[in-house]
């Protein structure tokens, strides 16, 4: 054993949240030999029923999933996406991008949130270094005054608060509505006026999930200026489904969130008529939608943290709690996965010395995150706003830009997660976004 290995610190790490960022962080850090306790507010019964719409995994996210040893499981349950296609109501192309125009090996994956959750969750259950504690609604993190580390605080019935720990490191991975708001850290959140109604439906006829000649499917959108957007993401199957079941499609209907009550008042059939009028091929898909309760409203917000850690409480912030965006770029899960990977590399590089590791994590992640957040802020009103002028400019210029080689390359590098902090036509190291296509042993 090397001298370096002998001096490595074994940490007690508390992780708040059992989503993508929390699960991935737990697995990476556990494999370094650290002891992990995950606190999750859901009950034990709810853990096997992950809620949420389907999501897109990009090449950089797939590379992290390969490092975690779950890529084969993800590919088995998800739908391979090779093409992004957006059309106006009149049929004019706004987006027409193929991953193969960047690198022939690349593709994305549309997946049900439960399939991603179960793949990571089952790995955690098999890991002796990881303990999952459900039904704990964490309220804040407090410094341990008697030494290094901090406590996880939560409410207990009949008691004002209870402390768990102390832990040498806390990883806050609890999503948009995060406990960071109760901590002495700087964070800024702005809510978007527009959001969506979503549902996950069986594609009985395979209209939106049939594979193309190159073996993949299309993420398809129909647009009517910037006020109306219909998105259809092939989503594969959940772990509980059989190969004989029809594959799923995640449907997203963009709208001003102030109009949700009006949609419900008008009734399901009126809404279906609007969708079919915009995209006639949805008629059979919508036949499986029987109630407005199957249309789930989702609002969007933008979170910005100038610093991704708190030295006082030895806390790192990962995933949506640190950098939530609108879903226009489809990068949320991917950014969370990379957060977990980079954090674990920093902890490993500094042999368990937390503060310098947190500083490295912040240094490595914040500029790339800011690039994607800025792009999301710019792109969101282009697809979701009340501006008719923006819609006209988008429809006039975005389609031709997809056919111009330099602009197409820039779009595709952003999509794949390969963009190098805004430097045009340059990429991060290839192994970070091409790694899932390589033949090597997962870490």
Over residues 239-277, the pLDDT tens digits come to 999 989 999 999 999 999 999 999 999 999 999 999 999
User: Has residue 442 been placed in a domain?
Assistant: no
Copy the structure tokens of residue 241: 């489904």
The alpha carbon of 296 is separated from its chain's Cα centroid by a whole number of angstroms, namely 18
CA dist., res. 225 & res. 389, Å (int): 9
pLDDT score for 160: 72
| Domain count along the chain | 1
Range of the domain at 122: 7-437
CA dist., res. 150 & res. 14, Å (int): 9
pLDDT score for 285: 95
User: Has residue 46 been placed in a domain?
Assistant: yes
Are the beta carbons of 318 and 173 closer than 8 angstroms? yes
User: Has residue 152 been placed in a domain?
Assistant: yes
User: Has residue 320 been placed in a domain?
Assistant: yes
Provide the whole-model pTM: 0.94
pLDDT score for 442: 44
Copy the structure tokens of residue 212: 């193309």
CA dist., res. 113 & res. 127, Å (int): 22
User: Has residue 113 been placed in a domain?
Assistant: yes
pLDDT score for 7: 57
Of 350, 365, 373, nearest to 309 by C-alpha is 365
pLDDT in tens, the chain (443 residues): 333 444 578 999 999 999 999 999 999 999 999 999 999 998 887 777 667 789 999 999 999 999 999 999 999 999 999 999 999 999 999 999 999 999 999 999 999 999 999 999 999 999 999 999 999 999 999 999 888 789 999 988 766 789 999 999 999 999 999 999 999 999 999 999 999 999 999 999 999 988 776 679 999 999 999 999 999 999 999 999 998 999 999 999 999 999 999 999 999 999 999 999 999 999 999 999 999 999 999 999 999 999 999 999 999 999 999 999 998 888 999 999 999 999 999 999 999 899 999 999 999 999 999 999 999 999 999 999 999 999 999 999 999 999 999 999 999 999 999 999 888 888 999 999 999 998 754 44
pLDDT score for 47: 77
β-pairing verdict for 79-88 and 217-224: parallel
Are the beta carbons of 98 and 215 closer than 8 angstroms? no
User: Has residue 292 been placed in a domain?
Assistant: yes
User: Has residue 2 been placed in a domain?
Assistant: no
- CATH number of the domain to which 67 belongs: 3.50.50.60
Taking only the tens place, the pLDDT of each residue in 199-217 is: 999 999 999 988 776 679 9
pLDDT score for 159: 67
User: Has residue 1 been placed in a domain?
Assistant: no
Are the beta carbons of 314 and 355 closer than 8 angstroms? yes
Residues 6+ apart with CB under 8 A from 412: 97, 99, 101, 102
pLDDT score for 155: 87
């Amino acid at each position: 054993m090397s001298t370096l290995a002998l001096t490595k610190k074994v940490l007690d790490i508390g992780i708040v949240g059992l989503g993508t960022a929390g699960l991935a962080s737990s697995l990476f850090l556990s494999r370094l030999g650290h002891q992990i306790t995950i606190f999750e507010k859901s009950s034990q019964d709810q853990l096997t029923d992950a809620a949420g719409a389907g999501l897109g995994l990009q090449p950089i996210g797939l590379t992290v999933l390969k490092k975690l040893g779950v890529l084969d499981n993800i590919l088995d349950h998800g739908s391979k996406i090779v093409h992004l296609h957006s059309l106006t109501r009149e049929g004019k192309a706004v987006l027409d991008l193929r991953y193969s125009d960047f690198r022939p090996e690349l593709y994305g994956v549309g997946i049900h949130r439960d399939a991603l959750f179960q793949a990571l969750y089952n790995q955690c259950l098999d890991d002796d270094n990881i303990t999952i504690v459900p039904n704990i609604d964490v309220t804040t993190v407090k410094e341990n005054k008697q030494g290094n580390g901090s406590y996880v605080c939560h409410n207990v019935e009949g008691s004002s608060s209870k402390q768990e720990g102390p832990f040498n490191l806390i990883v806050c991975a609890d999503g948009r509505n995060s406990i960071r708001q109760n901590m002495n850290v700087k964070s800024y959140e702005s809510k978007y006026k527009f959001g969506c109604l979503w549902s996950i439906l069986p594609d009985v006829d395979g209209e939106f999930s049939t594979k193309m000649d190159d073996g993949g499917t299309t993420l398809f959108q129909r647009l009517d200026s910037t006020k109306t957007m219909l998105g259809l993401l092939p989503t594969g199957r959940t772990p509980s489904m059989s190969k004989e079941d029809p594959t799923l499609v995640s449907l997203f209907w963009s709208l001003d969130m102030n109009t949700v009550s009006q949609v419900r008042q008008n009734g399901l059939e009126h809404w279906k008529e609007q969708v079919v009028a915009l995209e006639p091929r949805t008629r059979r898909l919508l036949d499986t939608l029987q109630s407005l309760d199957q249309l789930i409203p989702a609002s969007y917000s933008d979170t910005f943290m100038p610093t991704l850690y708190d030295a006082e409480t030895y806390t790192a912030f990962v995933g949506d709690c640190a950098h939530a965006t609108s879903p226009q770029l489809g990068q949320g899960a991917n950014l969370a996965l990379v957060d977990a990977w980079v954090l674990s590399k920093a902890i490993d590089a500094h042999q368990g010395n937390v503060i310098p590791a947190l500083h490295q994590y912040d240094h490595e992640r914040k500029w790339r995150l800011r690039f994607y957040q800025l792009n999301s802020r710019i792109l969101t009103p282009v697809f979701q706003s009340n501006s008719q002028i923006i819609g006209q400019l988008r429809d006039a210029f975005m389609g031709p830009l997809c056919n111009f080689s330099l602009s197409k390359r820039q779009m595709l590098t952003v999509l794949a997660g390969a963009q190098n902090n805004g430097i045009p036509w340059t990429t991060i190291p290839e192994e970070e976004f091409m790694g899932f296509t390589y033949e090597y042993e997962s870490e």
